[in-house]
Amino acid sequence: MKVGIVGVGAVGSATALSLVERGGSWREIVLLDRDTARADGVATDLHYAAPLSPTVDVRSGGYDDLADTAVVVITAGVNEKAGGATDRSDPKGWLRLLETNVRVYADIVPQVVAVVPQAVLMVVTDPPDPLADLTRHLAGHNPVFSTGTLIDSLRFRVQLADRLRVRPRDVQAQVVGEHGTSEVLLWSSATVGGIAVTDLLGKDGQSVEELRREVENDIRYANITVIEGIGASQYGIGAVSARLVEAVLRDERAVLPVAAYSSAHEVTLSLSSVLGAGGVQQTYVPAMSPQEQQALDDSVHVLREAAELAIAVAGRGCSP
């Protein structure tokens, strides 16, 4: 099978590297970028590294080279640093990038769909959820999802594991809603070995509420912290993107907090999603406290406004 990556900046390159290292059902990776020299350089570099991993061919190309691609990963667009979205006090957060990246997607998505109308489209660019709504609108079909809050959920598990001194894989914790400042951390259902996390925290004298504020702050602004150190958040989301491609191509039916359109909520958001062939096959609403449910409702409102704006901006940009 073939995987395409559109946009070979920091995130696209990290995604390609993770795909090469993981190996799997894909035998070919095609890299596209408006900077063709960059795409050529990344493809050449990875091509020489590929013999150390399961068999895979990496090459650069144009839209026509996406023919027969099963999954197209879209990472193109400006990031937080380039788009001026690195102010922790800004309530818009990643939504600050929306209008700029809408124009990028309005150009890319029709060209992708013209070549591979059957491909699953995975949106990675921030803000991924309203851009996934836009992609679904432009593509005219449903096999569209975004990386959603999977990276946030992993950060939640790591933060809790560090404080409890256990392995992150033994922590069950999830973030739902927007991948952004309105995201909802489900503390009420977070557990370790079947024990509520809130019963285990605060043993050292620090209040649970104070710990919660610290954890939520670290997770919501993790991208900014990474950007302040290396200029772009790339390796974590690159690994996440490769893992999601794997789940689709292997038809794993893995339950992960990725974002797909919910007819019940009338917007794309992260819930407990069953990911396999064709993208998200089913979504479930996890158990929540009344406070968490209200926070999710607020997040849905934020996402609906962002999706409406994205489609409106694309419509203005595409009109004669």
CATH code 3.40.50.720 for 2-147: yes
Count of other CB atoms within 10 angstroms of residue 251: 13
For 121, the enclosing helix (H) or strand (E) is: strand 120-123
Q: What is the pLDDT of residues 266-301, one digit of tens each?
A: 999 999 999 999 999 999 999 999 999 999 999 999
Residues across the chain: 320
Residue ranges per structural domain of the chain: 2-147
Predicted confidence (pLDDT) per residue in 22-51, tens digit:
887 899 999 999 999 999 999 999 999 988
Active site annotation includes 47: no
* pLDDT tens-digit readout, 200-236: 997 777 788 999 999 999 998 898 888 889 888 899 9
Quickly count: other Cβ atoms within 10 Å of residue 188's Cβ. Answer: 16
Question: Would you say residue 319 has pLDDT above 80?
Answer: no
**Overall pTM surpassing 0.75 (yes/no):** yes
Catalytic residue among 47, 141, 179, 265: 179
User: Which tokens is 311 given?
Assistant: 């489609």
